Chains A and B, each alone.
Chain A
Amino acid sequence: MTTATNTGASQRRTSALTTGHLPRFSELIVLGCAAAVSAGVLALFGFSVTGWLVLTAVVYLIVIGVLSGVVEGRRKSTDRVVRGLVVVAFLLALIPLISTLWTVVSRGIGQLSWSFISGTDRTTFDPTTLEVKVVPGALQAIIGTLEITGIATVISVPIGLLTAIWLTEYTQSNNPVRRVITFLVDVMTGIPSIVAGLFAFSLFALIRGPKEAFSGFSASVALCVLMIPIVVRSSEEMIRLVPHELREASYALGVTKWRTIMRVVLRTAVAGLVTGVVLAIARVIGETAPIYIAAGATNRLNTDPFNGPMSTLAVLSYTGYAFPNDQDKAASLLEAWGSALLLVIIVVILNLIARVVATAFSPKARR
C-alpha cells in the first residue's frame, strides 16, 4: 500500500460520497433574488406588501425546486421545497396575528381615554351647528365584564378543581365513571360557545319567564359551561405532576387524606393551578356570543348581575359595529374598536400573568 495509490483512489472515488450540490447560502441567495425579481415585477403592476411577500415565496419555491432538481436530483429538490413550504406555513400564521393586533391597536388607541372607561354613552348637542355628537363610554361593559367573568370564575374554579382532585386522587385509572367523565370533559371543551349561551337562556327563561331571562348571572352560567372543562383539564394535568413520593411521605406521618391533598398536593401544584385558572379566564373573557344571548346588551349602567341585561367589552364591540347608534355611526364604530382594544389588553395582561406565575413559581425555580 503506497500513499500514491491511496490518493489516486481518493480522487476517483470522491464521487461516491458527493453529489452535485448547491453552494452554501444558495437558499439565501435565491431568496434574495426572488424578492428582488418580485419587487420588480410588482413595480410594473402596482406594488403591495402582501402581494410582494406572496410572489417572493412562490418564485423562491419554484426556483429552488428547479435549481436543486437539476443540480442535486429529485430527492434533494423535494426536501428543499418541503422545507420552504413549512417555513412559509409558519410565516403565514404570523401574518394574521400581527395584522390583527396592529389593526386593533391602531384603530382603537385613539379611543382609550379616561372618559371612555369612566362613563357610559353620553350625547352632546351643539346648539350652533345643531349637531348631535355621541361621546362613547364603556363603563357598563367594563363592570359587566368583571362581574360576569368574576362570578363564572367563583363557580367554575371550585367545581373544576374538586373534580380534578376526584379524578386524580380518589379514583383508579380503570374506574369506569372516571373514564366516562374524563372523556366527556374533553368532549365538553369543544361545545360551541353559543350553545352554552342558549342553555343559560333556556334555563332562566324556564325558571323566570322569557321576559326576565336576561341577566349577568345567566351569562356567568353560560361561561361556567365553557370554563369548567378547561379548569378540570389543566388542574388534572398539574396535580398529576406532583410526585407520588410526596403523598406517601405525608401519609407515613399519619396525615389524613384530605389534609394531604390540601397541604401537600395542592400546595405543590399551586403555581400550575393558578396558571391554568388565569388562562381559563383569559379564554372566556373574550367570549361574545354566549353573553349576548344570555345577558343581552345595554348601553346603560347595570351593576346588579341578577336583574336586567348587561354588556361586556366583547358584546359592546359587537353591538357597536352591528347595531350602531343612528345619531352617530362613526362614534359607535370607534366604540367597537376601543372596547376591542381594551379587551385585547386585558387578555394580554392575563396571559402575561399566567406566564409569570408559571415561570416564577415553577418547581424547578424553587429547588
Chain B
Amino acid sequence: MSKRIEATDLNVYYGDFLAVEGVNIEIEPRTVTAFIGPSGCGKSTFLRTLNRMHEVIPGARVTGEVLLDGDNLYAPGVDPVLVRRQVGMVFQRPNPFPTMSIRDNVLAGVKLNGGRMSKSDQDDLVERSLRGANLWNEVKDRLDRPGSSLSGGQQQRLCIARAVAVQPDVILMDEPCSALDPISTLAIEDLIEELKKEYTIVIVTHNMQQATRVSDKTAFFNIAGTGKPGHLIEYDDTSVIFSNPKVKATEDYVSGRFG
C-alpha cells in the first residue's frame, strides 16, 4: 500500500527556465514528509513532479529520476495516467467536482477504470473512504447533495476521500490547509496523522508549526534570488530541522529571520 520515493538529480524546467535544480531525496513509506521554504522556492513544483502533474503546464519538463519503489516515473513508456493512480494529490484549494454529488465525487476516480461495481460495493467504498477522511458522520445523510454544498474544510476532506478511494500508495498534499480556517486545519492535521498508517504522505506547507505538528521529516527548499533555480537545502528529521539544523539558511528560516 505504501511506497518509498527516491529522487535523484532531479531538474525541473519550464521551457528554458530552470525552476528546480539537482534534488536528491529519499522518502520512506508510512511517514509524513513536509516541504517548507519561502514562496517561489520550487517546493510545489517539485511536489508536482512526484506524480507528473507538472506536465499539465505547457513546456514543463524534467531531467533526472524519480523512483517509486524502484520504478522510475520518467522511464520511457511510463504512462502518467498510471502514475497518478498510485500517487494521489490534494490541492491548495478544495476542488470537488461542482456538478457531482458527494457520493459521485468519492467514486469519480474509481469509476474511471470502468470496472463494474455492485451498488453495495460502491456504498462500502464510499463509506470506507469518507470514514478514512473523517467526514462520514457529517455527510452520511446527504450523500446525494452536490459536493459544493459543503464547507471549505469539509470539501477538502471530501477531496482527500476522493484521493483515498482509488487506493494510492502515496498522497501528495499541496498546502492543503492554506484556504481553511483553524478548526478545519486541525481536522485535516488529525486526518494526516491517521492516513500516515497506510500511506506515504508528502505535504507542502507555509506554516512551520504545521510542519512540526504533522511531519516526521522535513525538507527545506530555498532560492538564491528571483530567476535562480530552487534547491533542496537540508533534509532531516523534523525535530533536527527545527531545533538543530546544520545549515545557516535553514536556521534563519525556521527561526523566522526571513521568508
Contacts and interface: CB of A to CB of B under 8 A. Distances in A.
Indicate yes or no for A touching B, C-beta below 8 A.
Answer: yes
Interface of A: 6-7, 9-10, 13-14, 16-19, 21, 74-76
Interface residues of B, number: 18
Contact of A6 (B70, B112, B113): B70
B114 A17 contact: no
Contact of A10 (B70, B86, B114): B70
Contact of A19 (B70, B75, B82): B82
B75 A14 contact: yes
B112 A10 contact: no
Contacts of B73: 17
A346 B69 CA distance: 66
B18 interface: no
Contacts of A21: 77, 79
B78 A9 contact: no
Contact of A9 (B69, B81, B83): B69
B69 A18 contact: no
Given A10-B70, A10-B71, A21-B79, A16 B86 contact: yes
B83 A17 contact: yes
Contacts of B82: 16-19
A76 B112 CA distance: 11
B109 to A, nearest CB: 13
Given A14-B71, A17-B73, A17-B78, 9 more contacts: A7-B70, A10-B67, A14-B75, A16-B69, A19-B79, A21-B77, A74-B114, A75-B113, A76-B79
Interface string B81-113: 111001000000000000000000000000011
Contacts, number: 44
Most buried by B among A7, A17, A75: A17
A10 B82 CA distance: 16
A14 to B, nearest CB: 6
B68 interface: yes
B78 A75 contact: no
24 contacts: A7-B70, A9-B69, A10-B70, A10-B72, A13-B69, A13-B70, A13-B71, A14-B71, A16-B82, A16-B86, A17-B71, A17-B73, A17-B79, A17-B83, A17-B86, A18-B79, A18-B82, A19-B79, A21-B77, A21-B79, A74-B114, A75-B81, A75-B112, A75-B114
A184 to B, nearest CB: 30
Nearest to B74: A17
A7 B72 CA distance: 11
A19 B75 CA distance: 12
Contacts of B114: 74-75
Closest 10 CB pairs of A and B: A10-B70, A9-B70, A18-B77, A17-B78, A17-B71, A13-B71, A17-B82, A18-B78, A6-B70, A19-B79
Interface string B34-75: 000000000000000000000000000000000111111101
Contacts of B71: 10, 13-14, 16-17
Contacts of B112: 75
Most buried by B among A7, A19, A76: A19
Dominant SS among interface residues on chain B? mixed
B248 to A, nearest CB: 32
Contacts of B77: 18, 21
Nearest to A12: B70
B70 A17 contact: no
A6 B6 CA distance: 12
A18 B85 CA distance: 12
Contacts of A76: 79, 81
B3 to A, nearest CB: 9
Contacts of B86: 16-17
A7 B112 CA distance: 32
A281 B86 CA distance: 57
A17 B114 CA distance: 19
Contacts of A7: 70
Contacts of A18: 75, 77-79, 82
Nearest to B68: A17
Nearest to A7: B70
B243 to A, nearest CB: 28
Contacts of B69: 9, 13, 16
Nearest to A13: B71
B253 to A, nearest CB: 32
A174 to B, nearest CB: 25
B65 to A, nearest CB: 11
A16 B83 CA distance: 9
Contacts of A6: 70
A76 B80 CA distance: 12
A263 to B, nearest CB: 39
Nearest to B67: A10
B134 to A, nearest CB: 29
Contacts of B78: 17-18
Contacts of B70: 6-7, 9-10, 13
Most buried by A among B67, B71, B113: B71
Contacts of A75: 81, 112-114
Contacts of B72: 10, 17
Contacts of B113: 75
B81 to A, nearest CB: 8
B112 to A, nearest CB: 7
Nearest to B6: A6
A26 to B, nearest CB: 13
Nearest to B80: A17
A75 B112 CA distance: 8
Contacts of A13: 69-71
A74 B73 CA distance: 22
A115 to B, nearest CB: 55
